[in-house]
């Protein structure tokens, strides 16, 4: 049953990506963003969310409302949808990007038809600036201050997986405050983002050790805390993050090492999955079955010649809430299952002005 589920998921059709396949209405800034996402130049969900908001500011500034229409009716309709369809063809939509799109469409629809076109465009751009400042920049700063001040102490050995921008900033901030600690960077085989984190920490003068995920159990004895980033935090408290994160969290938790997740509330999701398959993203199968290994008769030798055989290399996995000690967001330190409470608080709060 599971093999069938994976096969059906892998064969699910997605729009073909490419600038030549984009609708003529797609704005140049969105075209550029899509290429950056597709080529993994913009990788993290926070970076993609910020890139989208900045691209939408350019789109709004260049936008001209058709005669007889209003911005609140025309902009969030087919014109807006064509921008999103193009981005989805570049890469599956992340939770942060989806939440940002819903917020922006709501704000556009709320624009008074009494406003002039220029005034409406100016107001929308101002709201986007506030959104970036409050939900991305200030949220990250709050998490960094909490993490560096309370969860990175003298003598600690901090384990982190792959690369998270907010975890990276937390480590750099703790070091700048004079905290003496060591970092163990465990890397994923998909994009080797941990190498970028390693380079940054070494340049800052932080004591760092770099290992592959397969060796993590041998190094757990010296670890005092695990700091992990998030692709999204689901409604049941489970963590959706880079493939391999679940193994890291489980191993740490079973050895009594607290697992702390740093996650902005823009990544909180109202949905959850029972496994890591639904809503996942496929990576390069050469990671698990390199051509040189297959050609030499390795474990997967000859699989490409088998018509009934296919391999799936998932980019993300799901970590159950029971392996997570706490989640640090801009709202403070929470239990992983408190995600729905934050979502309700955000939805009932006054819209950004």
The backbone region for 68, taken as left when phi is positive above 0, alpha when psi lies in -120 to 50, beta otherwise, is left
Range list of H helices, 296-348: 339-348
May I ask the CATH class of domain 20-139? Answer: mainly alpha
At residue 289, the pLDDT reads 67
Q: Is 124 in contact with 111 (CB distance < 8 Å)?
A: yes
Range list of H helices, 258-337: 291-295
Where do the domains of the chain lie? 20-139, 151-280+315-348
At residue 266, the pLDDT reads 94
Q: Tell me which fold the domain 151-280+315-348 belongs to.
A: Rossmann fold (3.40.50)
Angstrom distance (rounded) from CA 164 to CA 262: 9
Angstrom distance (rounded) from CA 257 to CA 249: 9
- Angle in degrees, 0-180, between the axes of helices 45-62 and 165-176, rounded to the nearest 10: 110
Provide the whole-model pTM: 0.87
At residue 159, the pLDDT reads 97
At residue 352, the pLDDT reads 44
- Please tell me whether residue 262 adopts helix, strand or coil conformation: strand
Angstrom distance (rounded) from CA 173 to CA 339: 26
- pLDDT (tens digit, 0 to 9) for every residue of the chain, 353 residues total? 344 444 444 444 456 788 888 999 999 999 999 999 999 999 989 999 999 999 999 999 999 988 888 899 889 888 999 999 999 999 999 999 999 999 999 999 999 999 999 999 999 999 999 999 999 999 999 999 999 999 999 999 999 999 999 999 999 999 999 999 999 999 987 788 999 999 999 999 999 999 998 899 999 999 999 999 999 999 899 999 998 899 999 999 999 999 999 999 999 998 877 666 777 777 777 666 666 555 555 666 676 777 777 777 778 899 999 999 999 999 999 999 888 788 777 765 544 44
Range list of H helices, the chain: 2-10, 28-38, 45-62, 71-74, 80-90, 95-109, 117-131, 138-150, 165-176, 193-203, 245-254, 291-295, 339-348
């Amino acid at each position: 049953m599971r093999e069938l589920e994976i096969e059906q998921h892998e064969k699910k059709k997605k729009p073909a990506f490419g600038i030549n396949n984009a609708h003529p209405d797609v704005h140049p800034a969105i075209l550029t963003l899509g290429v950056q996402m597709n080529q993994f130049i913009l990788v993290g969900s926070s970076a993609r969310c910020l890139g989208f908001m900045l691209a939408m500011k350019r789109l709004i500034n260049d936008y001209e409302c058709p005669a007889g229409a209003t911005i609140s009716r025309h902009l969030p309709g087919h014109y807006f949808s064509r921008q999103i369809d193009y981005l989805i063809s570049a890469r599956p939509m992340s939770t942060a990007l989806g939440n940002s799109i819903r917020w922006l469409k709501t704000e556009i629809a709320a624009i008074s038809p009494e406003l002039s076109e220029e005034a409406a465009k100016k107001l929308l751009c101002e709201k986007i600036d506030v959104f970036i400042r409050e939900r991305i920049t200030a949220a990250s700063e709050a998490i960094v201050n909490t993490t560096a001040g309370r969860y990175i102490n003298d003598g600690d050995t901090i384990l982190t997986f792959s690369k998270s921008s907010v975890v990276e900033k937390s480590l750099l901030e703790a070091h700048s405050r004079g905290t003496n600690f060591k970092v163990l960077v465990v890397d994923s085989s998909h994009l080797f983002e941990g190498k970028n984190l390693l380079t940054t920490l070494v340049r800052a003068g932080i004591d760092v050790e770099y290992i592959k995920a397969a060796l993590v159990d041998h190094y757990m004895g010296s670890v005092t805390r695990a700091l992990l980033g998030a692709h999204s935090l689901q409604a049941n408290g489970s963590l959706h993050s880079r493939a391999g994160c679940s193994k890291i969290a489980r191993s740490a938790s079973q050895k009594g090492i607290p697992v702390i997740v740093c996650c902005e509330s823009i990544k909180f999701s109202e949905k959850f999955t029972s496994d890591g398959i639904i809503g996942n993203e496929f990576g390069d199968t050469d990671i698990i079955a390199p051509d040189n290994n297959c050609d030499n008769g390795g474990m997967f030798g000859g699989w490409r010649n088998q018509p009934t055989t296919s391999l799936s290399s998932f980019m993300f996995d799901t970590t159950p809430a029971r392996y997570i000690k706490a989640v640090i967001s801009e709202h403070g330190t929470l239990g992983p299952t408190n995600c729905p409470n934050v979502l309700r608080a955000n939805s009932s709060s006054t819209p950004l002005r």
